Structures are given as structure tokens and as C-alpha cells.
């Protein structure tokens, strides 16, 4: 049984309309943008941004852990990224005795830097347009399944060839414009990445959920890591003999600060945008998908908060989980508000009407594009109820940690009960599961999960039509007479998965008999019955519709590019390297409210005076530095700058991205968007869309004056 991540709201494309702040541009095509950037004040050349023949800005930027960005700030492999990007590593090293979340962590020597198994960073070696190679042998007459099979074969062959070029090379081929074009991204991946420094959460997450996605912001959202390599400066597994990596390029740091209207370049790995989904998809997003997911996550967060506030061990165990759940929860709230404010559905329909009118201008256009909009409508009408079930599968069923954990036993159970099993494959699968189980139980609390289990089953029973519920759920509802919590407690008291000792004992001597202990477990049964119901009644049709929509979008986007031939198009974000440019600038989010473009340490102290707001409690030492005005070289007008906003088009994955000035210096670390901007994944509005960045001077102040780790500054190139 396989788990599927929702992709109902497919990736899309946006059309450049003359507003420089819009767009997530491919670095190899920077030549199309460079003159405009230079008119805005940028002092560098296209080759300074991206080159395969000389060092360039791309060589100082890495994809961090697969979901964030980081940048080199020294010739000794020192990285800076967001605190929330390094949060899971900081949390993994933390305990009640060594609470690096609360107290921060600073390695005062290379020997004190902490390894992070599983953490990788990737440098982009090069990218290239491989459309012709990927589409070799593909014809218009092909069935879609045959087309996809041929594409996969071509991509596999191409990736294998280029990965052989170097140690640690990883090739990724990504479709652009819904498969109208394909690009190869060749990466060099390093796996020895060590934690160097992180401020306490009272700095790194100052404002917490209260301020998440909100401006004005006062969060010192940064952490520091170091890349290690072998003696030849090549990727190597962790070893005490590895040495700090020597990068081709690292970013100089500017102490000159920022002014309103200054040019800004954000360079990183934005995750996913949906700029050209149709009106039907937007309706489903704001009227169904977001509201339900928000409610489910709100319930989970309430349970997390209840236990975390009363128990420090649980607080540490669930800190990273809470952050992950809360981040998307608040984003979806803001996104829904923003799309409604922009009347996004009506704007999408206007574009679709323009497209339909254009397609009617000739028989050739009508034949190719005339049926697109009616077909979109029909497919989304059918997809919408199925999408609700998929949302609840991911946000309710698999939100229960023990159910999710039980689902991971499928492969081992299947191998164990085979009469003639592949012992090598079995041992590999079992060892992977044992490793995962150790991490799982370290941060698992049964009381928390029992409440989540009860709440999620109740929500599924109340919100999903009876025809799409597993039979056992209705029976449980009748038997528990509405007391889902009592029922959950009984389930967990009888489950082997709730007892780590029993799980490891059974795994240690796993055979067909002990495998059936797992298979017969009631928690595994919950997983299996939900999954069987999904497979029987949802999966096949859901993915048939999704595949059909992919084909429609490929045709639609190709048609838009024909219809608007004078426009500059950029492909949607898809976790590949992009740059976006704009300016430092405030905005007016609503009538009578004007936001400045920067914040200072004064604001931290002001917020700290608000009673009963636990997110606004800075460290005593920071308050002491403020009261003594002990700001050192970081003082600006009697305080310290903390954060600023700009007009750059960013999204998830841009967390940790460098904000670079007109001269190529690091001035900030991107960490968020304003709440009014969260709809920018679907529709960009230059009046509201602002990215939030940590002012690099605040990071230096914290490292130097607060943490006493000024030795780290000695290896940086600081421009004064």
C-alpha cells in the first residue's frame, strides 16, 4: 500500500507583465533579465549570477536539507540559513540536560561542531535545457501512458550519464510549463554537515506562532552549519578526518545596511507555486481544501500546546512537529483571506474568457483549445469530493503518529511472510525500519497521540460521507457512544506499536509468525482499513483525473504562450534554483495602516512588555545588552536593526535564501512572507506581496555580543 502526497492543485506558470518584482527566474536564462536588473541599480553582470566557466553567486548557495536554502559566508565552508530550517537538527541534539532549543548552541572550536546524520546540502553544478533529449521518440499520437514511459526512460538514461561525471553528483530533470520544456539540474551533494551555532528559540523563534507570517517582525531566524569534505575537497560520509569544505565562492557580508528602494536579489530554491491553476482549482482551494485542513491542524496544535505547556520533555519532543504543523496552518489562513480579497476566482475567469475568445478565432485554434475550459470544469467537479477524502487521509488519518508509524511496516511484513523471501532485501528493509523506529520513539508521547487519534477519527467520521468511510469507523462510533477519547485509550492499550520494547523485540527476531503480530494489531488494522477504502473507492479515479488535468494544463499553458507571445514567461517554482529581484520597501496592508520597511531591537523590548504573551519573552542577556546600549559596531541610531521587507517574489523553500545587494554582498537572510502575501503562490499582488528578511547585522550582533562567538566573524569577509 503506498502513500500519496496530494498534488491536486497542480503546478503552474505566471506571465511577466512588466512588474520587476514578480517572477522566479531560471539562472541560466539571466541574460533575459540582466538589463532590467541593471536599470534598477544592480552592479554585477549575468556571469556574476550564473556561470559554469567561472565562480558565480550560484556557487555560494546550497539547497539545505531538501526544503530550504543556505549560503556560504566563509572560505571554510561556514553556512548560514534560518533557525527554522535547522530546527530539527537543533531539536535532535537537545535534551532536558542539554536544551539547545532553550539555551542555544555555539561551537567554540571545530571539535565542538555537531554532526547531523541524514542532513545533506547540494550545490548546483549546472543546469541545461534538455527538452529535445527528453522528448526523443515522443510523438503526438502516443497514449499518455506510453508518453510518460518514454519520458521516464529518456530521463533515466540522461541522469545516469551525467551523474558519472563526478563524485557525489546527483541529476534531477524537472518539467517546466507543465512539460512543454524540460531542464536538467546537476548537483554536487555533501552529507557531512555539522551544527556550528544557533541562538535560543527566544531569539531564533521570537514571536513564535503569534508573529508567524506577520509584519512587523523581530525574529532572529538564523542558524549556522559547516560543510565538511575529504582531503580532496570532495563529498564524503561523516568522518573525524574530514576537513572544512573550500567553496568556489562565498558571499561577502555588508555592514552598510539597507535603505528604502535599495535593489535586492533573492537567490535560492523556491518550493512550489501554482500561478496558473484555473478558477475551478482556486474555488476548491479557498472553499474546501484550506478550510478543512486549517480546522484539522488547529485541533492538533491545541493538543500539542496543552501537553507542551505542562511538560518540558514533551515540549522538546514536539517542538519541531509543532513548528511544521503550525507553519502551513497559518499560511493557509492568510492565503484564503488574500485570495478572497483579490477576488482571485473572478480574475481567473476573466483570463479564461479571454483565452476562449482567442481560441475561437480560427478552426485550428478552436480544434486544439476550444474544449479546454468545459473539460476543466467537468474534471474539477468530479475531483472536488475526492480531493476532500484525500485531504482527510493526509491531514487526519496520517496525522496520527502511531497510525503513520504502523503504515511503515508494510514492506517488512510483506517480505517476512513470503515463503521464499529475498533475505538481503528483507534485512535492508528491516534495518531501515529499526533506524526509523529509534528516531520515532525518541520524540513520541503516547498521551498526546491518543488525543490526536480520538480527535482525527471523530473529524473523519463527521466530515466524510458514509460511503467513503471504512465500515469499522461507523461501528466504533456506535460502540463508543461519542466518547472517542476512551475508545482511543483502549486501542492504544492493546497495541504492540504503543510499546517500543515489544516492537524492537519482535523486529529483532522477525519471521512470518512475529510479522503476523504486527499485521493483526488493531492500530495496523486502522491504517489498513482506511488505506483499503481509499484504494478501492478513491485512488484510481483520483489519479486518472489528475493525469487528465496534467495533460489539459500542458495544452493550456502552451496555448497561453501562443496567445501572449509578447510576454515573458517564467516557469513555476519546483524546488529548483531561481532568482528573484525587487527592492526594499514598506507597504499599506489596509486603510490607515502604513508599515515601515524595517524593524529594530526597540521593537523586541516593546513586545516583551506585553503581559501573557509567551512568544514575546526575549533572553535576559539580550534585555541587559539593550538596557546598557551595549551594541558595539552594530549600533544604528541608538539601536540594532533586526529585519526588513522587500518586494521579491518568494515562497516555501526560499527560507534561508540570501538577500543580496546591488554589489553582490549579503545583507539579509530571507525567512518568511507577510501574511498579506501568502496568496502569492497562486496570485501575485505587488501592492501587498512582501518577503521578510533577517538583517544580517542582527545576526552578527547576536553571534558576537550575545553569544560571545566572535571567532566566527574572523573567518567572514565583512564589508564596512
**Cell numbers describing residue 217:** 517582525
Provide the pLDDT confidence category of residue 165 given band limits of 50, 70 and 90: very high
- DSSP, res 582: E
Q: What are the tens digits of pLDDT across the range 501-541?
A: 999 998 888 888 888 889 999 999 999 999 999 999 999 99
Distance CA 326, CA 332 (A): 10
Distance CA 592, CA 694 (A): 26
pLDDT value of residue 611? 76
Provide the pLDDT confidence category of residue 86 given band limits of 50, 70 and 90: very high
Which residues make Cβ contacts (< 8 Å) with residue 309, sequence separation at least 6?
A: 315
- Whether the CA torsion 535, 540, 541, 542 is positive or negative: it is positive
Q: What are the tens digits of pLDDT across the range 222-252?
A: 999 999 999 999 999 999 999 999 999 999 9
Average pLDDT over residues 368-380: 97
Encode burial over 517-554: b for 16+ CB neighbours within 10 A, e otherwise.
Answer: ebbebbbbbbbbebbebbeeebbeebeebbebbbebbb
Query: In percent, how much of the chain has pLDDT > 90?
Result: 85
DSSP-derived secondary structure for 492-520? HHT-GGG-HHHHHHHHHT--HHHHHHHHT
pLDDT value of residue 366? 96
Kindly report the number of other CB atoms within 10 A of residue 565's CB atom. 8
Let me know: does 197 contact 226? Beta carbons within 8 Å.
no
Task: Specify the 3-state DSSP secondary structure of 563.
Answer: helix
Kindly report the number of other CB atoms within 10 A of residue 373's CB atom. 20
Q: What are the tens digits of pLDDT across the range 685-720?
A: 999 999 999 999 999 999 999 999 999 999 999 998
Please state, in angstroms and as integers, the Cα–Cα distance from residue 506 to each residue in 361, 439, 689, following that order.
69, 17, 53
Provide the pLDDT confidence category of residue 18 given band limits of 50, 70 and 90: very low
User: Model's pTM, two decimal places?
Assistant: 0.88
Average pLDDT over residues 196-215: 95
Provide the pLDDT confidence category of residue 42 given band limits of 50, 70 and 90: very high
Beta pairing partners, 225: 79, 195
Distance CA 654, CA 193 (A): 20
pLDDT value of residue 3? 34
Kindly report the number of other CB atoms within 10 A of residue 424's CB atom. 8
Distance CA 717, CA 251 (A): 8
Average pLDDT over residues 164-169: 94
Known catalytic residues?
84, 221, 655
Please state, in angstroms and as integers, the Cα–Cα distance from residue 189 to each residue in 170, 193, 247, 572, 616, following that order.
7, 11, 13, 24, 38
pLDDT value of residue 345? 97
Q: How far is CA 604 from the centre of its chain?
A: 27
Q: Is the pLDDT of residue 170 over 80?
A: yes
Q: Where are the alpha helices (DSSP H) in 194-317?
A: 201-204, 208-211, 279-284, 290-308, 312-317
Packed helices 290-308 and 319-341: angle between N→C axes, nearest 10 degrees: 150
Packed helices 372-392 and 446-463: angle between N→C axes, nearest 10 degrees: 140
Distance CA 537, CA 393 (A): 13
Q: Is the pLDDT of residue 193 over 90?
A: yes
Q: Are strands 192-198 and 68-72 parallel, antiparallel or unpaired?
A: unpaired
Average pLDDT over residues 44-72: 97
Kindly report the number of other CB atoms within 10 A of residue 124's CB atom. 22
Provide the pLDDT confidence category of residue 549 given band limits of 50, 70 and 90: very high
The CATH 2.40.10.120 portion of the chain extends over 51-120+191-273+572-673+686-719
**Cell numbers describing residue 537:** 473507492
Let me know: does 264 contact 659? Beta carbons within 8 Å.
yes
Q: Is the pLDDT of residue 8 over 50?
A: no
Q: What are the tens digits of pLDDT across the range 22-40?
A: 999 999 999 999 999 999 9
Chain mean pLDDT for the chain? 93
Q: What are the tens digits of pLDDT across the range 607-628?
A: 999 877 889 999 999 999 999 9
Least confident of 484-488, 549-553, 628-632, 661-665: 484-488
pLDDT value of residue 299? 97
Q: What angle do CA 305, 324, 702 make, to 5 degrees?
A: 90
Which residues make Cβ contacts (< 8 Å) with residue 394, sequence separation at least 6?
A: 5, 6
Distance CA 19, CA 129 (A): 26
Burial of 478 (0-12, 13-18, 19+ CB in 10 A): exposed
pLDDT value of residue 323? 87
Hey, what CATH class is 51-120+191-273+572-673+686-719 in?
mainly beta
pLDDT value of residue 5? 30
Q: Where are the alpha helices (DSSP H) in 183-289?
A: 201-204, 208-211, 279-284
- DSSP, res 584: B
Is the preceding omega at residue 216 within 30 degrees of 0, hence cis? yes
Burial of 708 (0-12, 13-18, 19+ CB in 10 A): exposed
Q: Is the pLDDT of residue 15 over 60?
A: no
Burial of 370 (0-12, 13-18, 19+ CB in 10 A): middle
Q: Is the pLDDT of residue 660 over 80?
A: yes
Q: What angle do CA 419, 422, 423 make, to 5 degrees?
A: 105
pLDDT value of residue 12? 35
Q: What are the tens digits of pLDDT across the range 281-331?
A: 999 999 999 999 999 999 999 999 999 989 989 998 998 899 899 989 999
Amino acid at each position: 500500500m503506498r502513500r500519496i502526497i496530494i498534488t491536486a492543485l497542480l503546478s503552474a506558470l505566471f506571465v511577466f507583465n512588466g512588474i520587476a518584482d514578480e517572477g522566479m527566474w531560471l539562472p541560466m536564462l539571466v541574460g533575459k533579465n540582466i538589463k532590467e536588473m541593471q536599470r534598477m541599480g544592480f552592479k554585477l553582470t549575468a556571469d556574476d549570477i550564473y556561470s559554469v566557466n567561472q565562480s558565480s553567486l550560484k556557487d555560494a548557495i546550497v539547497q539545505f536539507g531538501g526544503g530550504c536554502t543556505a549560503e556560504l559566508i566563509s572560505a571554510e565552508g561556514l553556512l548560514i540559513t534560518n533557525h527554522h530550517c535547522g530546527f530539527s537538527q537543533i531539536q535532535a541534539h537537545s535534551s532536558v540536560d542539554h536544551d539547545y532549543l532553550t539555551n542555544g548552541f555555539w561551537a567554540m572550536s571545530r571539535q565542538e561542531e555537531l554532526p547531523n546524520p541524514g542532513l545533506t546540502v547540494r550545490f548546483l553544478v549546472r543546469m541545461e535545457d534538455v527538452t529535445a533529449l527528453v522528448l526523443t521518440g515522443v510523438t503526438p499520437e502516443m497514449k499518455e501512458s506510453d508518453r510518460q514511459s518514454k519520458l521516464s526512460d529518456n530521463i533515466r538514461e540522461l541522469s545516469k550519464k551525467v551523474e558519472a561525471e563526478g563524485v557525489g553528483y546527483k541529476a534531477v530533470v524537472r518539467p517546466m510549463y507543465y512539460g512543454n520544456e524540460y531542464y536538467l539540474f546537476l548537483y554536487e551533494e555533501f552529507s557531512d554537515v555539522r551544527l556550528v551555532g544557533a541562538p535560543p528559540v527566544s531569539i531564533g523563534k521570537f514571536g513564535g506562532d503569534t508573529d508567524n507570517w506577520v509584519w512587523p517582525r523581530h525574529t532572529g531566524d538564523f542558524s549556522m552549519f559547516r560543510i565538511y569534505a575529504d582531503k580532496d575537497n570532495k563529498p564524503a560520509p561523516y568522518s573525524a578526518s574530514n576537513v572544512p569544505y573550500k567553496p568556489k565562492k562565498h558571499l561577502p557580508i555588508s555592514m552598510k545596511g539597507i535603505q528604502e528602494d535599495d535593489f535586492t536579489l533573492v537567490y535560492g530554491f523556491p518550493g512550489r507555486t501554482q500561478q496558473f491553476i484555473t478558477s475551478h482549482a482556486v474555488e476548491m482551494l479557498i472553499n474546501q481544501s484550506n478550510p478543512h485542513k486549517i480546522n484539522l491542524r488547529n485541533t492538533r496544535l491545541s493538543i500539542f500546546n496543552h501537553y507542551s505547556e505542562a511538560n518540558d520533555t514533551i515540549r522538546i519532543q514536539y517542538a519541531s512537529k509543532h513548528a511544521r504543523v503550525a507553519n502551513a496552518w497559518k499560511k493557509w489562513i492568510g492565503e484564503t483571506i488574500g485570495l478572497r480579497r483579490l477576488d482571485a476566482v473572478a480574475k481567473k475567469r476573466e483570463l479564461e474568457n479571454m483565452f476562449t475568445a482567442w481560441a475561437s478565432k480560427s478552426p485550428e485554434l478552436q480544434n486544439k483549445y476550444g474544449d479546454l475550459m468545459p473539460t476543466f470544469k467537468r474534471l474539477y467537479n468530479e475531483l472536488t469530493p475526492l480531493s476532500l477524502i484525500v485531504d482527510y487521509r493526509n491531514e487526519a488519518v496520517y496525522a496520527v503518529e502511531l497510525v503513520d508509524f504502523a503504515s511503515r511496516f508494510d514492506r517488512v511484513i510483506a517480505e517476512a511472510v513470503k515463503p521464499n523471501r529475498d533475505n538481503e532485501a528483507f534485512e535492508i528493509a528491516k534495518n531501515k525500519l529499526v533506524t526509523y523506529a529509534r528516531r520515532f520513539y525518541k520524540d513520541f508521547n503516547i498521551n498526546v497521540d491518543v488525543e490526536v487519534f480520538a480527535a482525527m477519527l471523530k473529524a473523519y467520521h463527521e466530515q466524510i460521507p458514509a460511503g467513503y468511510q471504512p465500515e469499522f469507523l461507523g461501528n466504533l462510533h456506535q460502540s463508543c457512544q461519542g466518547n472517542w477519547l476512551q475508545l482511543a485509550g483502549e486501542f492504544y492499550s492493546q497495541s504492540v506499536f504503543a510499546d517500543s520494547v515489544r516492537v524492537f523485540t519482535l523486529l529483532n527476531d522477525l519471521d512470518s509468525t512475529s510479522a503476523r503480530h504486527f499485521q493483526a494489531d488493531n492500530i495496523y488494522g486502522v491504517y489498513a482499513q482506511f488505506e483499503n477504502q481509499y484504494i478501492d473507492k478513491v485512488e484510481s479515479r483520483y489519479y486518472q483525473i489528475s493525469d487528465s488535468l496534467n495533460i489539459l494544463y500542458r495544452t493550456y499553458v502552451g496555448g497561453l504562450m501562443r496567445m501572449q507571445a509578447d510576454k515573458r514567461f517564467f516557469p513555476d517554482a519546483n524546488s529548483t534554483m531561481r532568482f528573484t529581484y525587487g527592492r526594499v520597501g514598506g507597504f499599506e496592508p489596509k486603510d490607515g495602516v502604513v508599515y515601515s520597511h524595517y524593524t529594530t531591537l526597540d521593537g523586541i523590548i516593546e513586545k516583551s512588555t506585553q503581559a501573557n504573551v509567551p512568544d514575546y519573552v526575549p533572553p535576559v542577556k539580550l534585555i541587559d545588552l539593550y538596557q546598557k546600549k551595549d551594541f558595539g559596531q552594530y549600533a544604528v541610531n541608538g539601536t540594532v536593526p533586526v529585519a526588513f521587507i522587500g518586494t521579491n517574489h518568494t515562497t516555501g523553500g526560499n527560507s534561508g535564501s540570501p538577500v543580496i545587494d546591488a554589489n553582490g554582498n549579503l545583507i539579509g537572510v530571507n525567512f518568511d512572507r507577510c501574511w498579506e502575501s501568502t496568496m502569492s503562490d497562486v496570485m501575485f499582488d505587488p501592492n501587498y506581496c512582501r518577503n521578510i528578511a533577517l538583517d544580517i547585522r542582527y545576526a552578527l550582533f547576536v553571534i558576537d555580543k550575545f553569544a560571545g562567538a566572535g571567532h566566527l566573524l574572523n573567518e567572514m569577509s565583512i564589508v564596512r
